[in-house]
Amino acid sequence: MLVNGKDITVHVNGVSICYDDLGTGRTPLIFIHGFPFDKSMWNKQFDFFKEKQRVLTYDIRGFGKSTSNQEDAGMALYADDLVKMLDALQIQKVIACGLSMGGYILLDAVSRYPERFEAIVLSDTQCIADSPEGKEKRFKTIEMIQAEGLNNFAEGFVKNVFCAESLENKKDEVEKIKKVVLDTPKETVISALMALANRNERCTDLSNIDIPTLILCGKEDKITPPAQSEFMHGKIANSKITIIEGAAHLSNIEQHEKFNASMKEFISGLSK
């Protein structure tokens, strides 16, 4: 039986995926969170869009309240989980928004299952793979986490994802995100770091994307800088781009009103 609500569990691809699903009407809108967060990072989008249409957020395997198994994580596995979840919920097509790692997952899913997407939103993300130095940094981070746990990692990570103004004036949001990072199982963080280091580039696929695409990026994003968004915009014919002032990597949290307004305008402009 299909139910609407919060913290619902569905068994797909060998794991339990926890999701929220509210609202009715129109093609469902689904949000894919970044690393190492959970579906709560989309609270401001979920509450806004559920008044207008059906909205889903979910915890990627191992994160939040979703379980993991022994399989090696990878963008393709995460993307398969997403599509199998849509199958289980009998949803044929979605408008999907992915932030950062959520965007990597979405680019993988769109290249293999284009028929499942009416439109996409690529937020604070990029199509490139890790450079050799980037991979090395991930491996060093894994060693650090194995040796001493998540505390230092969480502290450093949070400083990198918010802009200075948010760190100063949005302390509640900063603390909430830090808690999410600290609550994530160490094993999940490590396996996702491996998955990020091993991910394939998706830039060569971008010219095949022919559905409406919105690209959003915080102007001060240091992890996936605006130049990466501009690059994707140049490759995806049917794309629009908005660079969000007063935000870094977590533009949906740091400037949620601007983020939501931009998405709302994009969705209103779609044909159905």
Q: Is 242 among the residues that bind ligand MLT (CB under 6 A)?
A: no
Query: Which stretch of DSSP H or E encloses residue 69?
Result: none
Spatial separation of the C-alpha atoms in residues 107 and 123, rounded to whole Å: 11
Q: Which of 97, 223, 247, 253 binds ligand MLT (CB under 6 A)?
A: 223
- Minimum Å distance from CB 193 to ligand MLT? 8
- Minimum Å distance from CB 16 to ligand MLT? 22
- Minimum Å distance from CB 196 to ligand MLT? 5
What type of residue sits at position 243? I
How would you list the strands of the sheet with 5-12, edge to edge? Answer: 5-12, 15-22, 55-58, 29-32, 94-99, 117-123, 213-218, 239-244
Spatial separation of the C-alpha atoms in residues 53 and 209, rounded to whole Å: 24
Q: Which residue carries 């940094």 as its tokens? A: 137
Q: Which of 57, 66, 68, 100 binds ligand MLT (CB under 6 A)?
A: 100
> Residue 24 — φ and ψ, nearest 5°?
-135, 165
Task: Assign residue 154 a region (left: φ > 0; alpha: ψ between -120 and 50; beta: otherwise).
Answer: alpha
- Minimum Å distance from CB 41 to ligand MLT? 10
Number of residues that bind ligand MLT (CB under 6 A): 6
- Minimum Å distance from CB 35 to ligand MLT? 4
Structure tokens at 111: 């290249």
DSSP, collapsed to helix, strand or coil, labels residue 204 as: helix
CB closer to ligand MLT, 28 vs 103: 103
CB closer to ligand MLT, 103 vs 212: 103
Residues 30-49 that bind ligand MLT (CB under 6 A): 34-35
CB closer to ligand MLT, 15 vs 253: 253
Binding residues (CB under 6 A) for ligand MLT: these are 34-35, 100-101, 196, 223
